[in-house]
């Protein structure tokens, strides 16, 4: 499943929608006369308002059917419960516009031309009021669209390796090194941080590598609410976690703090967690708690670490069901 928010519709602003509906209604009315003109104007205006509002709602994915990863990721950005309420309000407005059309069609059908015009004007006033009632909802949906459409295309149905650790320990260098050959690499803004996603292929299976600076580079108690929610989202995607440590402490963080963060991450994720000591060329000793040693700068055991993560996942693709 690809990123579900990429093709979100643009929500019209309330004033723009009303202007569009009434101007097109006026054009449709000029082509006819008498009752036909008034009814045509009413039908045109209500259809434009109802259809545009309905399209806004239908363009959003059903959160009840979304993978929990994307629900949590969206919730970290825009508050999914509030987003659902905005969508419900716009749905109400779309249906209300249709109800107004039915109500005034009946009134106009049994009235003279002057009264029919009066009813049409009353209907237009009520339609404008309905759209105005959801003005804030439309603006909120437009803002949410801008924030969600560029989220990383992390696919929960593909095997995923999350790379974590303190800043400057070599996380990004590792991801860059192992994904360079495929040239499939992208960076995405996530609040004040960046989430980097790269891909590698092994035995015809594509693996995602997610580098998480600003999200998993400090203990849980130091993360803000948005970061904590994003980490929660990554829990649903991770099939293995590489925690990179710098035993040379050139990164500026003591090794005991790095180990503490590793242990915290290990208790967070329900997935294999591999302890990888980078910059092995600068380390003066071996470490019993290191699952693997590597040096990205010297290209020592980088592929070995990648293969260890892939083997830890032990991914078996689902075979198609033979209906015969």
Helices (H), 110-170: 113-133, 135-148
pLDDT of residue 228: 74
* CA pair distance 282, 248, nearest whole angstrom: 6
Strands 240-245 and 205-211, how do they pair? unpaired
If you search the block for the tokens 């929608």, which residue do you land on? Answer: 17
> Residue 163: in which H helix or E strand, if any?
strand 160-164
Q: Is the dihedral of CA 176, 186, 153, 137 positive or negative?
A: positive
Q: How far is CA 224 from CA 95, 220, 229, in A?
A: 40, 9, 9
The dihedrals phi and psi of 183, each to the nearest 5 degrees, come to: 55, 30
What is the pTM (predicted TM-score) of this model?
0.75
pLDDT of residue 183: 38
Residues carrying CATH 3.40.50.300, the chain: 160-313
Query: Mean pLDDT in each 10-residue stretch from start to end of the chain (324 residues)?
Result: 82 95 93 88 96 95 88 85 96 97 89 90 96 97 89 82 88 86 47 71 89 75 74 81 90 90 88 91 77 91 94 72 52
Give the pLDDT of residue 13. 94
- CA atoms of 156 and 165, how far apart (whole Å): 22
Q: Which CATH number fits domain 160-313: 3.40.50.360, 3.20.20.140, 3.40.50.300, 3.40.50.1000?
A: 3.40.50.300
Burial 68-81 (b: 16+ CB within 10 A, else e): ebbbbbbbbbbebe
Q: What tokens does 263 get?
A: 């242990």
Give the model's pLDDT for residue 198: 86
CA 128 vs CA 57, 123, 134: distances in Å? 19, 9, 10
CATH 1.20.120.1190 residue window(s) in the chain: 14-148
* CATH class of the domain comprising 14-148: mainly alpha
């Amino acid at each position: 499943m690809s990123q579900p928010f990429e093709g979100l519709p643009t929500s019209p602003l309330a004033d723009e929608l009303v202007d569009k509906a009434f101007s097109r209604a006026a054009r449709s009315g000029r082509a006819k006369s008498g009752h036909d003109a008034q009814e045509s104007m009413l039908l045109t205006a209500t259809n434009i308002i109802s259809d545009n509002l309905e399209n806004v709602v239908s363009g959003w994915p059903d959160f009840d059917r979304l993978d929990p990863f994307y629900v949590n990721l969206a919730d970290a950005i825009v508050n999914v419960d509030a987003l659902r309420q905005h969508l419900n309000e716009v749905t109400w407005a779309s249906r209300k516009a249709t109800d107004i059309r039915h109500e005034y069609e009946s009134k106009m059908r049994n009235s003279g031309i002057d009264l029919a015009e009066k009813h049409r004007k009353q209907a237009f006033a009520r339609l404008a009021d309905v759209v105005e009632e959801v003005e804030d909802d439309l603006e909120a949906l437009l803002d949410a669209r801008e924030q969600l459409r560029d989220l990383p295309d992390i696919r929960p149905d593909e095997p995923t390796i999350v790379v974590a650790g303190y800043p400057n320990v070599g996380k990004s260098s590792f991801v860059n090194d192992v994904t360079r050959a495929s040239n499939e690499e992208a960076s995405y803004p996530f609040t004040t941080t960046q989430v980097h996603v790269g891909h590698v292929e092994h035995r015809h299976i594509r693996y995602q590598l997610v580098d998480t600076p600003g999200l998993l580079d400090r203990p849980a108690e130091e993360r803000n609410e948005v970061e904590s929610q994003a980490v929660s989202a990554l829990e649903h995607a991770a099939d293995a976690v590489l925690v990179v440590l710098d035993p040379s402490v050139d990164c500026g963080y003591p090794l005991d703090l790095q180990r503490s963060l590793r242990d915290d991450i290990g208790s967070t994720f329900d997935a294999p967690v591999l302890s990888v000591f980078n910059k092995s060329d600068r380390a003066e000793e071996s470490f019993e708690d290191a699952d693997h040693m590597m040096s990205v700068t010297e290209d020592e055991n980088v592929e070995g670490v990648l293969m260890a993560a892939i083997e830890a996942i032990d991914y078996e693709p689902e075979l198609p069901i033979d209906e015969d």
